[in-house]
Structure 1
């Protein structure tokens, strides 16, 4: 990878994951509490993964909602807002609608921003903050914090991240025009995030789906210039219809967060091949701050 901020931040992930081991993630657990997780863009996809991880670990009902679509119809004991910058308008607006008495938690990378005044508790991942508009290490680091908090053994994670940085990129980047990412359980959010990286950095055609839904229509557009990536425990039975469409399935035995690193690298490499600067994605800014009418 080149010396762009995006490439450097992708390469730093094993280090930030190692540092995540010392972060207190107790605010993400709250056993028995009904929890809502909010975010926009990448943070919304991380909210989906976090919600699935928490609920499947047995800590209680957990919903994930895109902050711009939040309507205060349901009662929650705790709301977790994910916002790298601490300034995203839709996240702040959603927090302002949370009923009094609900415990509010922010996961952010920057100290002293507006989100601080809207929450009772905060997890600050300033060591995983990014210069790049395109998020890479902040979202993966927050999931490393959450997974440890939910009781997972991540002793393999740093080594898998380093392996993903050293691995050869799959497929043929010179002929690939279409990328599809599939996940199951908590890795569905990772699949959505991988597809977003390709769109943001490389302005390329990418899709993402829950794995077993891929055969219910989306496989129809796959062809010889398609790579179909599996995140986590995606059934191998899907490889047959993928190959039948002329596409190439992509699998490896790395941790799903490390699999995402490989997809991030692919997005940057594809951007550079197209003459694009991944540090300056088209029409995007580090934080979406809306002007009130």
Structure 2
């Protein structure tokens, strides 16, 4: 299968996955130039609620961002689909609160994000801002935005844009939080390049050596949004059906779908590692192929069929979030290539979704 990547299929997506370490580093440098944004928005403790919104992958980013914000700053935050704000605002956010609305969009042109921001920009108790990869986009022109300078992509599917925007927003939260959080985000940069390199060969071998009929992704905390995202990546690129769940929630009914030929991929946190590995071991007993993405191997992971180590044991679970992505993005890519599908141009999809 190694030679197949030289074909026209996948020629955009593969280098974009491979270029994300550089995209993260550029986002970190850009953030240093936008520290006023950090102080103006995340440094303002008058906001009673911070609402991160996005659509599709950007909504999953928003989930990671909101979880990190709550954990590191100890303030109220939530992630919502963009459409909830302009169609169901009063059911989604309590009336009368002082709200910071953060729009998340790779292109900055997503109709639903734009409609959401426009629906509240005239309200005195709402303030809008955002993050994108394009400084001349509609989003960036209507609201002050963080810009990931190397997040731009030609491929339809989000890979390095997702990683770099998520990292950049987490780094902004780290700067607002102070203390050791910024040091953790710098440590992530040092780990990321090696993970991108190792993830490629690991994912390629995993796809070559196995035939799966079902794909399940599990994660908790900041990794729940990631589990949804990596499941979506595989679905978008290769057209296979995937599902994602909160790790312990998967035991309450959904586990009935597990049988031989099922891949169960668990994004392992350190905070809940013992509980999560119990779930994974149970799925192994039902016949699943268990893939663990964890800080390190140990006696507690010996039961698994495959373990990919990301390191960073001394970092918080939130800081390590983007380290899970390269392997599982590559897994989606190589699955698509094996199935004869072009991951650059998935059917029915476009980079920008309009309504």
SS in 1 for 2:158: coil
Q: CA deviation at 1:232?
A: 3.6
**Per-residue deviation at 1:146?**
2.5
Among 50, 65, 89, which residue is 1:72 paired with? Answer: 89
Please tell me whether the aligned partners of residues 14 and 158 of structure 1 are also in contact (alpha carbons under 8 angstroms).
no
Q: 2:284 aligned to 230, 243, 250, which one? A: 243
Deviation at 1:216, TM superposition (A): 0.8
Deviations, residues 44-71 of structure 1 (Å, cap 9, x unaligned): 0001110111011134110111012222
| Structure exhibiting the larger radius of gyration computed from Cα positions | 2
* 1:263 and 2:289 aligned: no
Structure 1 CA distance for aligned equivalents of residues 258 and 76 of structure 2: 36
TM-score by length of 1: 0.92
- Tell me if structure 2 keeps the 8 A contact 1:109–1:138: yes
TM-score, normalized by length of structure 2? 0.76
CA contact (8 A) 2:100 2:127 kept: yes
Q: Decide which of 226, 238, 256 is 1:220's aligned counterpart.
A: 256
Give the match's secondary structure for 1:55.
Answer: helix
The within-5 A match list for 1:107-122 is 107-119=131-143, 121-122=144-145
Corresponding position of 1:94: 116
Give a deviation string over 1:131-161, Cα, whole Å, max 9, x none. 1110011111122122223333031444244
* 1:182–1:230 contact (8 Å) kept in structure 2: yes
Corresponding residue pairs, total: 289
Once residues 65 and 227 of structure 1 are traced to their aligned partners in structure 2, the CA distance between those partners, rounded to angstroms, is 29
**Superposed CA offset, 1:178-201 (max 9, x none):** 221111111111000000001100
Q: Which moved more, 1:179-188 or 1:159-168?
A: 159-168
Contact 1:31 1:60 in 2 (8 A): no
Give the direction of change, closer, same or farther, for the CA distance of 1:28–1:236 in structure 2 (3 Å limit): farther
Which is further off, 163-172 or 41-50?
A: 163-172
| 112 and 160 in structure 1: CA distance in 2 versus 1, 3 angstrom threshold | closer
Residue 57 of structure 1 corresponds to 72
- Cα deviation, residue 76, structure 1: 4.0
| Structure 1 position 159 matched with structure 2 position 191 | yes
**Structure 2: gaps (5+ residues):** 175-180, 296-309, 311-319
Q: Secondary structure of 1:94's partner?
A: helix
Q: Is the 8 A contact 1:161 1:257 kept in 2?
A: no
> What corresponds to 2:346 in structure 1?
281
| Alignment of structure 1 residues 131-150 onto 2, 5 Å | 131-150=154-173
Matched, 1:128 2:151: yes
Instruction: Give, in whole Å, the separation in 1 of the partners of 2:133 and 2:338.
Output: 31
2:62–2:80 Cα contact (<8 Å) kept: yes
Matched, 1:178 2:214: yes
Q: 151-160 vs 258-267, which deviates more?
A: 151-160
CA drift at 1:31: 4.9
